[in-house]
Amino acid sequence: MQQLSSTTASPTQFHTWDNYRCAYEVHQPINATPEGIALLLIHPIGVGLSRQFWQRFCREWYNAGHRNLIYNPDLLGCGESDKPHVAYNPTDWAKQLQHFLQTVVQKPVILVVQGALFPVAIELVQTEALLIAGLVLCGPPAWAVITKQSPKWQQKLTWNLLDSPFGNLFYRYARRKEFLRSFSSRQLFANSDTVDGEWLNTLIAGASNSQTRHAVFSFLAGFWRQNYSKAISSIKQPTLVVVGEIASSISLAGKNESPDERLTDYLACLPQGRGIKMTGRNVLPYESTAEFASAIAPFIDEVDQSLKIA
């Protein structure tokens, strides 16, 4: 693998799943031999979002002296992966990542998953438990959201509305810098001053291809909204839940839930769960990067050591 002195990432690589071309990159420490368990990052879905969401975290992880290999894929419909015009659900992305684990990674990893993409990790754990040694949940959805089935008729109605000329116009509006700044300040970041040029420019570049709207509309339609309580209670791997001190929910169902209540509900359900509350709101790996990396490092080291002992 060619390693550039200015970056931790390999050039974009591709693998094929279900006749689709799926992009990924592999990060490794500069001028050091990788060691420890590998991390597999699952980026959030949203206007302009892709694997680029994780770039700050990867830089900080290695700046802090960690040496784990990091696998950072683009989910189908995002970034440099193919963007078929389909309604995506968590099972689709989980199957993509299962194939990636089996054919590219081929060794146990810790999943690090952002926000409402937790259902993708849930589906992946159900089908590929042997290659998943642990999970880190970064700002997972409100408990009332992750345990409530959204009506299928409502999901289809929302999808059909968005998958129309109206939706195309809406996406063009939503990818404007002014909208992205406003939404990020209101819903994602604890401090509007941290909604910086790097964040906004990355989103604008990512949303420049209008075909990325299908993944976003699938998310907005709520195809991921199911009652996952039983599936969560079956996760046997060690799981770290990281919640922002002022974590919030876009959904009405989770509006009145406090961060402490969110942690309590998750830990009561997860067989091997533990939790941390830290500075920030909903995009902790980006808005509080150094603190986030420091918060999850002991857990990753512990899982790594337990594998070596086993």
Are 295 and 276 in contact, with CB atoms under 8 Å apart?
A: yes
- The pLDDT value recorded for residue 256 is 75
Confidence label for 7 from pLDDT (cuts 50, 70 and 90)? low
Could you give the CA distance from residue 179 to residue 195 in angstroms, rounded to a whole number?
12
| 218 token code pair | 């699938």
Could you give the CA distance from residue 97 to residue 211 in angstroms, rounded to a whole number?
21
Residues 6+ apart with CB under 8 A from 166: none
Confidence label for 286 from pLDDT (cuts 50, 70 and 90)? very high
Residues 6+ apart with CB under 8 A from 158: 220, 221, 222
298-307 average pLDDT score: 94
180-209 average pLDDT score: 94
Confidence label for 28 from pLDDT (cuts 50, 70 and 90)? very high
CA dihedral over 252, 114, 83, 47, signed as positive or negative: positive
Residue 2 has pLDDT above 50, yes or no: no
248-258 average pLDDT score: 70
Taking alpha carbons only, the member of 177, 237, 238 closest to residue 202 is: 177
Burial letters 101-125, b for 16+ CB under 10 A, else e: beeebeebbbbbbbbbbbbbbbbbb
3-state class (DSSP) for residue 250: coil
- The pLDDT value recorded for residue 1 is 33
Confidence label for 255 from pLDDT (cuts 50, 70 and 90)? low
Concatenated DSSP letters of 69-112? -EEEEPPTTSTTS---SS---HHHHHHHHHHHIIIII-S-EEEE
Eight-class DSSP state of 270: -
- The pLDDT value recorded for residue 31 is 84
**Contacts of 232-235 spanning 24+ positions with Cβ under 8 A:** 232/122, 232/146, 232/266, 232/269, 232/270, 233/269, 233/270, 233/271, 234/126, 234/271, 235/122, 235/125, 235/135, 235/270, 235/271, 235/272
Domain assignments of the chain as residue spans, ordered by start: 13-309
Q: Does domain 13-309 have CATH number 3.40.50.1820?
A: yes
| 308 token code pair | 């070596």
Could you give the CA distance from residue 299 to residue 169 in angstroms, rounded to a whole number?
44
Average pLDDT score over the chain:
93
The predicted-structure confidence for 103-124, as pLDDT tens digits, reads as follows 999 999 999 999 999 999 999 9
3-state class (DSSP) for residue 39: strand
Confidence label for 187 from pLDDT (cuts 50, 70 and 90)? very high
The predicted-structure confidence for 80-103, as pLDDT tens digits, reads as follows 999 999 999 999 999 999 999 999
Of the chain, the percentage scoring pLDDT greater than 70 comes to 95
Confidence label for 235 from pLDDT (cuts 50, 70 and 90)? very high
216-230 average pLDDT score: 95
| 281 token code pair | 């709101």
Place of tokens 């926000």: 115
C-alpha triplet 237, 245, 200: angle, nearest 5°: 95
Residue 251 has pLDDT above 80, yes or no: no
